[in-house]
Amino acid sequence: QVQVVESGGGLVQAGGSLTLSCSASGRTFNLYGMAWFRQAPGKEREFVAAISWSGGVTNYADSAKGRFTISRDNAKKAVYLQMHSLEPEDTATYYCAVDQDGGYGRWHEEYDYWGQGTQVTVSS
């Protein structure tokens, strides 16, 4: 079983930046598709960004494109989400997800392992 752990959340003012980190166990991390989802109170889980096994292909939600950057470091078995120009609407618990089959789609059903989440709160 793959263990997934997120970190880096916190409180930031609107317009500020945060970088989230995710680590995942497994010898084949370099073959995993990775993604970030988020969920705000009273809302459904929402796709944010995903990245292919090589890091060569990324997918972004419209709300994230241009503001957020997903990246990965396979040597460190880590994936990151750099967030800039944060808005109160970005406030949510952010979850890191693993697709052990290497996918990087927008649908939560395809991901196999999830972290516990890290809270991001953006104040206006």
Give the burial class of 113: count Cβ atoms within 10 A of its Cβ; 0-12 exposed, 13-18 middle, 19 or more buried: middle
- Model confidence at 27: pLDDT above 90: no
Structural contact between residues 110 and 99, judged by C-beta atoms closer than 8 angstroms: yes
**pLDDT for 35-71, tens place per residue?**
999 999 999 999 999 999 999 999 999 999 999 999 9
- Model confidence at 1: pLDDT above 90: no
Q: What pLDDT is stored for residue 71 in this prediction?
A: 98
* Cα distance between residue 65 and residue 22, in whole Å: 20
